[in-house]
Structure formats: structure tokens, C-alpha cells
Structure 1
Amino acid sequence: MPSRRTVLAAGAGLTAALGAGGPARAGDERRLRRIVAGMTLEDKVGQVFVSRVFGHSATAPDAADAEANLRELGVRSAAELVERYRVGGVVYFSWAHNTRDPRQVAELSDGVQRAALARPGGLPVLVATDQEHGAVCRIGRPATLFPGAMAIGAGGSPADARTLGLIAGRELRAMGVRQDYSPVADVNVDPANPVIGVRSFGAGPRAVADLVAAEVRGYQASGVAATAKHFPGHGDTAVDSHTGFPVITHSRAEWEALDAVPFRAAVAAGVDAIMTAHILVPALDDSGDPATLSHPIVTGLLREHLGYDGVVVTDALDMAGVRTRYGDDRVPVLALKAGVDQLLNPPDLRVAWHAVLAAVRDGELGEPRLDASVLRILRLKERLGLLDRPYAGTAGVDRTVGAPAHRAAADGIAERTTTLLVNEGTEGTVLPLSPRTRPRLLVAGADPASPSGTTGPPTGVLATAMTELGFAATALPTGVAPSDAVIARAVAAAGEADAVVVGTYDVTADSAQRTLVERLLATGRPVVAVALRNPYDIAHLPGVRACLATYCWTDVALRAAARVIAGAVAPRGRLPVPVPRADDPARTLFPIGHGLSY
């Protein structure tokens, strides 16, 4: 069994030779294969697992739920979990469980690495997270938070997408995170998609492809592995694969023309990893198995048809979409047989780990097949420099994470992506509102639960930003389902204001939010609607004469919206998706590319 010194020596000097996305030279490949040949079967099984870790410290869980989760796995700390199951990767999921502040995250990452390398023959761990930006952020402030993918789609700038990947990657790397489950490569063609939506760059496959490739290149330049997801394409689903089993009815020709386009671009850009989807696509595999467990999809389409030989990671294995047909002991084995390399977050690591070990020992899963996945994982770790430099340290964390230049870049991108959908009043345009006379402004509307790291609910953030711009702004949150009494209170407050800004969130035809907006309009005050998530809200608000789409309710998007409302900057975003009419969804209210300016 090779020692840590032998492993690191075998990898020495490979980083420069491999380059981001590049193939290994023959001599370097032989060294990596020797590492695999020297590993025990248990070490190899561990390498293909990416497990959640519990707690904010590698050695001392600091919450009862962390202790309980660890106890179920028969361990007492994240370090012991890494040591016992020899996992090749870990994933951070939330502020509550792992990511309180940048220095703490870096220390957790280094603690995990120390535990992995303490074992004889131990290899560095690939630390990952799900930092898409926008609606999905696992690491919050003071990290720089960017607008989400659909906002980037509204900006239409590959340069901005690359900047996002570069800056986000630099900050993640400073905290010891070397793999990001981003960008989303799904083409969102269903306005009612319950799980992708604004996480997608848009509905145009070529535009999505260009932005996916640009973001991938940004992450590559930062030294962090990007992960394009969710193959073969999750953009046309009416079911959330976290809670059910979505079925995609696209034909093979439709898949080639729509869903495959961004993944082809990601492969051409040298993407480091691709994540599978727990979806059923009968035209691609009529077995009834989800794509994650489908050999025709993972090996046939992704490996052979698209020519991808990098790391393939499953979506989380605790999701309902992959657990509908098979038990938790079968899913990881079937995923490996399908052609994946990394098994993400099984619901019971102990069960999954032993199931894979038994499958190899029993001959169901050939050890050469396991070796191929381990080799791909090691190539990625080496390419990222982990075999030589596994530790993040804390020396550069404070000056890198949330650096002023990074925040300024995020603010600029947010300004370029804010989209003005409607701006028409009886006496000219409603926007911009002038702060010159310090008008009284009511900021009302939905306050959805915000992603990690926001400074407050949307109404509060918007009101503060408008006050800083010269308005006398008051926040009145009404929630996403305001009662009659709450609506009446908002209407009364509007009577004392000069203008109203109302945030909306997933408005429907029978939504109480729609009633709120209609009652506010009836006061005669100028009303500006801000769609805090889906731009489709405007279809249900026919009386609104001014509406902005921000595509997310994070601080960076809301501050940009405030500057647009006040006329400090002009709106420049253009819809990356069509908005269908509410009364006739087959007809388009606003097409792709629609957007007004001052």
C-alpha cells in the first residue's frame, strides 16, 4: 500500500503537464495508474463516494442534528467519517450545516484533508458545493454573490458568465472548495418547471450553450472544477426530481436540437465534470430507468455519442427521482454500471458503501470498471493540483472572499441583467422615479425565504436601497399569500405614499398577490412591480404599467433594481425566455429578446 509521501511524489509535477481539461502525457498516466494499482479495494470503493459532512468543524460537531446524523453512520465527526469510509469527495450543503464564514469553511476543508491524508495511502478529498448563485447559494456573505443563471441569460454576455465563474471559483478555492456543481446546462422551455426555472440561462439552446461554455472557462481559469448539469436535460419537466420522477417526452431529434446543445458546448470547452439527472427519457432509453442509472444514456450518449471521458457525478442519491424503482443498496451499484464515476450523497453512506464493495467482490461490478472511475477522479484531482497542494490555509481567505473588486463586478453584472418589461403610464412612462423631492415610497409584497447570505427579506433590502438613493422608503412585507387584512393594511399605507414598489413571487391567476397588486393599482398611486423570481409574473398582472424582472431576490439583484427604479442606471436586460399569455399559453405576451430601457 503506497504511503502519502509516495502518492504525492507520484503526482509531483503533473499539474502543469495536464492543464485544465487536457489529457495526461503517457508517463504521467502511468504514474496515476500505479496509484490505482496500489490501492486496496476498500480504498477504491471509497473514492467514488461524495458524502455530506455534518457540522462546521471536521473534529467536533457543533449541533444536535449533526451529532445525530454522524451517529447513524457509526462515527463521531466529519474527520472520522472521511477516515472510515475513505471517501473521495465531500459536499457542503448549507450555512446551517457547514458554511458559516469563509475562514471557518477553509478550516473545515483543511480538517477534512488532514483526516483523509492521515490514513496510510490516503488521498486528498475533492471538496464540492452547490454554488450556482441566484436562487441556489450554499455559501453566503461575505462571499461575493452573483445574479443567477437566468439573469446572466438576460444579460446575454459570455464575458459576464466567464467573470462569474472566475471570481466565484477564486473565492471557492480560497475556502478549499475545488468542485462546484455549476453551471446549469438545462434549457428551460417549460414556464411551469418547478425545479429548474430561473436556475437555467434561458430557453434558447444556442444562447444557453454559449453561456455554459463561458462559465466553464471561468471556473477552469480559477482552478476549480465546473460541473455541467443535469444530463441529459432537465429543462422541460413538470415534476421536481427531488420529490418525484419526471418524464421527458422529447424525441431523439428534439433532444439533439434542444437539450444536447449546451452539453456539447460544455464538452467542447473541456468541462471537468457532468452531473446526471434523475429523469426518465423514453426516447433515449425505454427501460424505465432514470438517466442516472441508464447505460444507454450515460455510456451510450454521454461517453460515446458526445465523446466525453471526464468525471460523471450523479445528482444527489437521496432524491425521490432515483429511488422510485430500486432500493438504496441497488442504486449506487446500478449507477456505476451505467457509467458514472462519483456517487453523490447517498441517503445512507454505510449501506451504499457496503453495497458497492459487495458488488465488486461478488463479480456483479467488475473491478476494472471501478478502476476506470477511480482513475478519472484521480486525473481530476491531479489536474486541480490537489495531489501536490491539498490544503487551502487561511492566509488568503479574508483578502479574496468578498473582495471589493469582486463585489463591484457582481453589482455591474446585476445592473446589466435587470430587465424592464413594461413602462407605460397615462402621462408618459412610470419609470424612472425621481428621488429629487425625497418622495415617500411604500415597498410592499412577497418576502420568500432568501438564499443563504442575504442581509434581509426583499422588502427590507429594497426599502433600504431606495432610502440610500434619496427616497423616504418604508417596507411593508405582505408574504406570498397575503390575507385580506394584510392587503387592506397595504392599501391604507399606499394612500400615504407617493409611489409603491411591490415585489411579486410566482404569481398565478388566482393568487392573493394578484389581488394585492390590483388593490394597490386602484389607489391611483404609481405602482412598480418587481418580479422577484419568474418573469412570467407579468402575464398575471395586466393592469401593471411598470414591471422589472430581477430573476432572483438576492441582495445584489435587489440593489440593482433599486438603482434602475431611481434612474441611477438604465435597464439593459433582455428576456432569455418567452413569457406566454396567461389566458392563452400557446400565444406569446413577450418574446425572447424583449426588454425596454430609458
Structure 2
Amino acid sequence: MRTRTVAFLAVAALGIGLPTPAVAKPHPINALIARMTLPEKVGQLFTTYVHGTAATTPSSDNKRLYGVDTPAEVVAKYHLGGVVYFSWTNSLQNPRQITTLSNGLQAASKKVPLMISTDQEHGVVTRMPAPATRFPGAMALGAGRDPAGAYRTGQVTGVELRAVGIRQAWAPVADVNVNPANPVIGVRSFSSDPTLTGTLAANQIRGLQQGAGISASAKHFPGHGDTATDSHTGLPVINHTRAQWQRIDAPPFRAAIAAGVDTIMSAHIVVPALDPTGDPATLSNPIITGLLRGEFGYRGVIVTDSLEMQGVREKYGDARVPVLALKAGIDVLLMPPNLDVAYRAVLKAVADGELTESRIDESVRRILTLKQKRGLLRWTPADPAAAQRIVGSAAHRRTAQSVTDRTVTVIRNDARLLPLATKGKRILVTGWTSSTYDTIGVLARELTATALPTTVPDQAAAAAREHDLTVVLSNNGQQQALLAALLKTGKPIVVVAVRNPYDLTALPGVTTYLATYSYTDVSMRALAKVLTGVTPPRGRLPVAIPGLYPYGHGLSWGVK
């Protein structure tokens, strides 16, 4: 020992430098957190909407809600972690406008770039306007039994969102729709089968994240599929036993986690078997921390569903909800009804000791880690010209049509009308329509038919008498009087459910019945091909039609 000491002193005396012990550099995320003030950290927890077509567009709605005029000022005032786009808040118009908005909002977020998001589930929940590529939605994919199609749906969606500066899709829905009366999920779910739902959700997640490099969000944990109450307007109670929940609701979320999903969204539902307190899952520590973090081992970001929804506001006031959500284990607080009240409530909870700053840091660390993963901490502006080329490209539209062509389901063909012999026939298309997608118009053009968008029974019946066959589009069984009038004409009738496939239970006397699960233009083109025999029907029911047809039913025939 003495010899080594002498040698060390000799080296030092000669002025020969020794290696300096390495000093570990702080992790870049921890270093960033260390430079942030508490208000900046709390701001990262919030994602909300701002009003304006551009970052500098003044809006009286911003002034009323946030006390400042422009979207950029809202972002700066509250140090927002994220912004969510809607047509009604941002008048989403085209790729160039959306890209410019995204770039302007990011420029206003000085220290930490924003996670910009939108609900792009497709089908009935679609935010991106034309020319964005349209897909038919989850239940149609369930009918197609097409994991590769679910992946391609996610990939194309993600590529187009990323092109306009959006890095988070609030999709897919991982709920298992076992209740035909479900008013809020329905065709947003892939299926009533947990395995099929999990498989397709996982593949769509991979398409969004691995295929396009944006974040997916599996929703709505612990499962919103068996309710007859809409959590937007009330507080649903799901009375599954724990064993039923493990068998029905849990598998798709386990599949999503195995697929590496970036975020999971909570549901404003009560599940007494998982938490007997009566608290909604969003505010439940046993569900969020105990189940999702503990039992499922999930380490990603957990986000609330919109805090404007009645389901989360029934039991507690708006100032308590964000604090209770954080105590439950939530990371991101989505769309509080009063951002200022929510923001100040979290700051006060830290000042009072109800929440610790280390608890805030825990969520901020997850949020920043996700932003780093998705390339946002080295953000560069999106290119408006590139966005115009990418969004709605011909290749993307071909992919969407190819995926959709597998989804149309022929459920009943008792009159042997299908495939239609259209040559020399006068065909009428009537019933429910969507003005956004020109549903009846698209189908009529594909069939070279007469379009009559109406729900007036006498008007439709008079037109039907002048035609050889009528195709009636039904949405949630609301066309009962119209159909009764058409049946009285004695002319052949084909009924197509363009949303939930359960309509047949409310439409007696129908002998020819199909389901598209979607009223988008791609679904109408796919329907026309099936009706005329250009392509065979390949869709199979992803849910049962109670008392009539089982899960998996679907008729087919060869191509003409």
C-alpha cells in the first residue's frame, strides 16, 4: 500500500495528469425538468383546445375562456403541454392551413414543444377534412377480419397527421361493444369479441406508431363497451364482475400494452367490481394506479377522457376533478371545462401539500419522455407544401378503398336479389344521408341510379313506384316509417345499415339486408361493388344481431 502511495505522489510531483473521474451527466429529461418552474410543469399536464384558424387569429372565445385573444397567447399563458384540434375550434380546412396552425402554435411554446392531437378514429369520429384519406372506422375493420388492413389504416392516418404537425391520434377504441344499446361506442368498437378487438387495436397502434411515428391512444380504460348511458351526459355504471371484466374488457388493453401503445385514455365510468367507492375510473386510484400501473405494468402516459363530460363532473366540482385525477395516477388532463380553475387548483394542491412537486415531476417526466420519443424535443416545422402532396394522395386513397372493399357484410338475401341485375333497371337510392360525405349521392353515382335524399315516406314511395328497385340507407333504425311506405309499393327493396348493424331488429319485413358500418364515400363505393357483383361480399358480422344472426355470420358469392 505504501509503495502505491509513494508512486502516486511522485507522479503528482512531476505534474503528470491523472484521469479525471467521470462525472455523470444528468439525463436530458431530468435536466429539462430541473430548469422548469412549477407553473411550467403544471402546464405540461394540460391538453386543451384553442380557438382560431391560425396561431395569431384573435377569438372572442379565447378571451371568454382564457382571458387572452389568440391561440398562441393561450399556449404561452398556461405553458400548455398539448393542444387538441376540432373543426369547431379551428375551422380545419385543408393541409396548408392545418400545417401553418401547427407551426404557429409550436413557435408559441417556448421551452417545451406541444403534443398536438386530434380524434381521428375514422368512421363516425373523424376530424381531418377533405382531402384527408377516409377509412370506414373500427367496426367495419372488424367485419373485414383484416389485421393488415388495421395496420395500414393506422399507418396512412399517422403519415397524414404527422404531415400537418399532429403527433397524437386519440385512437384506437379498445372497448368491446357487447351492448347493442350502447349510445356512445357502437361502431367505434372493432367487435364484441375481445380477441378480435385486441388484435385489430394492436395492429392499428403499430401502424400509427411504428409505421408513421406518431402516438396512439387506446381508449377507454377499463372498458366502455357494456353501457346504455353516454358518459358525455351521465355517469355510466358497468356491472361486470371482476371475472367478466378480465375475460371481456381487459384483453384489448393488454394487447395494446404489448404493442407498445404510447398512451391509454381513461373512461368516466363506474365499475363497482374494480372500485366499490362509486368514483369514476378517471378518479380511481385502485383502477388507474392499482390495475393499469400495477397489475398491467403499464409505464406509458395515462390521459383522461375530456373533463368537460358529465360523467366525471357528477360527483365532484371542477376544481377537485384535476387534483383527484392526478392522485389517482393520471398524467394528462384533457379539456377541463375551465382551464384557469383547473390549473390553479393543481398549483394550490401542491402549495397545500395535497400533491407533492415530485408527484408532478413524475407525470411531467412521462410526458417529456413521450415527446422525446416522438421527436418533439427537437421539433422542426412541418412543410405545408409537403403536407399538400401527402394528405389524400392517390396511393393513400387506393389503400383505403382496398381495405374497405373487404368490409361490406351481406346479412340477409332471402329474395335472392343480390347480386343485382342492373342492366336496363331503374334504381332509386333513398333514406338517410350524410351531407359531409354525400352518402346517397356517391352510391347513386356508382350504381347509375336516382338519388333521393329524404325521410319523407310518401315522397320516397312515389319515387319508388317509378323505379324497378330501391336501395334504402338506414341509420340506427330511424327509417321505420319510410321503409313501411316503401314496402307497400310492392317493389323490391334492399336495406343497408350505414352505421350500427343492429337496425334489422327494428325493421320488420326486410328480406335483403346489408351492413357497411360506415357512411363514408369509400364505404359507399365498396357497397356498390358488392351490390352489383363486381366484388364478392367478404365481411362477417363482428357483433351478433340479437335474436337474429350470430357473430361471424355473413353471406357471399362469386364475382360476376
- TM-score w.r.t. the length of structure 1 is 0.87
**Using the alignment, how far apart are the partners of 1:210 and 1:239 within structure 2?**
27
**Using the alignment, how far apart are the partners of 1:396 and 1:489 within structure 2?**
48
1:214 to 203, 211, 221: 203
Aligned to 1:313: 303
For residue 274 of structure 1, give the secondary structure of its aligned residue in structure 2.
strand
Check the 8 A contact 1:491/1:520 in 2, yes or no. Answer: yes
* Structure 2, unpaired ranges of 5+: 1-23
Check the 8 A contact 2:124/2:188 in 1, yes or no. Answer: yes
**Is 1:42–2:39 an aligned residue pair?**
yes
1:476 to 436, 452, 457: 452
**Is 1:346–2:327 an aligned residue pair?**
no
Q: Which amino acid aligns with 1:272?
A: D
- More deviation in 152-161 or 559-568? 559-568
Structure 1 residues 168-187: aligned runs within 5 Å: 168-187=157-176
Check the 8 A contact 1:54/1:70 in 2, yes or no. Answer: no
- Cα offset, 1:94, TM superposition: 2.1
**Using the alignment, how far apart are the partners of 1:378 and 1:28 within structure 2?**
18
**Using the alignment, how far apart are the partners of 1:58 and 1:134 within structure 2?**
29
Structure 1 residues 203-352: aligned runs within 5 Å: 203-221=192-210, 222-352=212-342
**Is 1:531–2:524 an aligned residue pair?**
no
**Using the alignment, how far apart are the partners of 2:528 and 2:42 within structure 1?**
52
**Is 1:462–2:421 an aligned residue pair?**
no
Aligned to 1:441: 427
**Using the alignment, how far apart are the partners of 1:540 and 1:31 within structure 2?**
59
| Identity score, percent | 56
Aligned to 1:143: 132
- Cα offset, 1:30, TM superposition: 1.7
For residue 132 of structure 1, give the secondary structure of its aligned residue in structure 2.
strand
Aligned to 2:391: 401
- Cα offset, 1:96, TM superposition: 6.0
**Using the alignment, how far apart are the partners of 1:28 and 1:505 within structure 2?**
60
- Cα offset, 1:273, TM superposition: 0.2
* Structure 1, unpaired ranges of 5+: 1-26, 468-472, 480-485, 582-588
**Using the alignment, how far apart are the partners of 1:431 and 1:339 within structure 2?**
54
**Using the alignment, how far apart are the partners of 1:28 and 1:198 within structure 2?**
50
**Using the alignment, how far apart are the partners of 2:181 and 2:495 within structure 1?**
20
**Using the alignment, how far apart are the partners of 2:39 and 2:130 within structure 1?**
39
The C-alpha deviation readout for 1:377-435, integer Å capped at 9, x for no partner, is: 0010000001112422213101110010111111111110011111121xxx1011233
Aligned to 1:388: 378
Aligned to 2:99: 106
Check the 8 A contact 1:54/1:77 in 2, yes or no. Answer: yes
**Is 1:590–2:556 an aligned residue pair?**
no
- Cα offset, 1:518, TM superposition: 2.8
- Cα offset, 1:50, TM superposition: 0.1
Check the 8 A contact 2:140/2:516 in 1, yes or no. Answer: yes
Which runs of at least 4 in structure 1 moved beyond 6 Å after TM superposition?
none
- More deviation in 559-568 or 220-229? 559-568
Q: Larger C-alpha radius of gyration, 1 or 2?
A: 2
The C-alpha deviation readout for 1:503-558, integer Å capped at 9, x for no partner, is: 11111xxx5x2232233123222211010111111222332221110111111111
**Is 1:500–2:487 an aligned residue pair?**
no
**Using the alignment, how far apart are the partners of 2:383 and 2:440 within structure 1?**
38
The C-alpha deviation readout for 1:69-117, integer Å capped at 9, x for no partner, is: 4333111100000000000100002266341111111111100000002
Aligned to 2:512: 546
**Using the alignment, how far apart are the partners of 1:191 and 1:554 within structure 2?**
22
Check the 8 A contact 1:273/1:311 in 2, yes or no. Answer: yes
For residue 433 of structure 1, give the secondary structure of its aligned residue in structure 2.
coil
Give the aligned length: 533
**Using the alignment, how far apart are the partners of 1:107 and 1:70 within structure 2?**
22
Q: Which amino acid aligns with 1:57?
A: A
- Cα offset, 1:28, TM superposition: 9.2
Check the 8 A contact 2:498/2:515 in 1, yes or no. Answer: yes
1:154 to 140, 143, 149: 143
Aligned to 2:120: 131
For residue 50 of structure 1, give the secondary structure of its aligned residue in structure 2.
strand
**Is 1:166–2:152 an aligned residue pair?**
no
**Using the alignment, how far apart are the partners of 2:226 and 2:26 within structure 1?**
40
Check the 8 A contact 1:273/1:310 in 2, yes or no. Answer: yes
**Using the alignment, how far apart are the partners of 1:298 and 1:143 within structure 2?**
35
Check the 8 A contact 2:50/2:62 in 1, yes or no. Answer: no
Q: Which amino acid aligns with 1:491?
A: A
- More deviation in 188-197 or 29-38? 29-38
Aligned to 1:11: none
**Using the alignment, how far apart are the partners of 1:374 and 1:391 within structure 2?**
23
The CA RMSD measured in Å over matched residues stands at 1.4
Q: Which amino acid aligns with 1:51?
A: T
Q: CA, structure 1 residues 195+29, in 2 after alignment: closer, same or farther (shift >3 Å)? A: farther
- Cα offset, 1:29, TM superposition: 7.8
For residue 257 of structure 1, give the secondary structure of its aligned residue in structure 2.
helix
Check the 8 A contact 1:88/1:126 in 2, yes or no. Answer: yes
For residue 396 of structure 1, give the secondary structure of its aligned residue in structure 2.
helix
**Using the alignment, how far apart are the partners of 2:149 and 2:88 within structure 1?**
27
Aligned to 1:555: 521
Check the 8 A contact 2:62/2:74 in 1, yes or no. Answer: no
- Cα offset, 1:306, TM superposition: 0.3
